[in-house]
Amino acid sequence: MENATLIGLVAGFCTTAAFVPQLLRVWKTRSTKDISLSMFVIFCIGVALWLAYGLMIGELPVIAANFVTLILAAAILAFKLRYG
């Protein structure tokens, strides 16, 4: 594996994993009052576009990180819509 790919995978893991504590907190507390709905809508759109871009260029780090990030961010968004 090339260094650039490895760095991309590690970076993607770190930025994706950053959403896990927020998702767990929302799940546990059922509170999303301090989460911005517009920010998460725009963020999910942006991540979906990054995922599409990654698929177009065939770059695993971009695809993997944005796929998982989209799932986590969409889950937070769903909680916001449900409990907001």
- pLDDT score, position 84: 76
What CATH number should be reported for the domain holding residue 62? 1.20.1280.290
The model's confidence at residue 47, banded by pLDDT at 50, 70 and 90, is very high
- The full DSSP string for the chain is --HHHHHHHHHHHHHHHTHHHHHHHHHHH---TTS-HHHHHHHHHHHHHHHHHHHHHT-HHHHHHHHHHHHHHHHHHHHHHHH-
Region 56-83: mean pLDDT is 94
Number of separate domains in the chain: 1
What pTM value is reported for the model?
Answer: 0.88
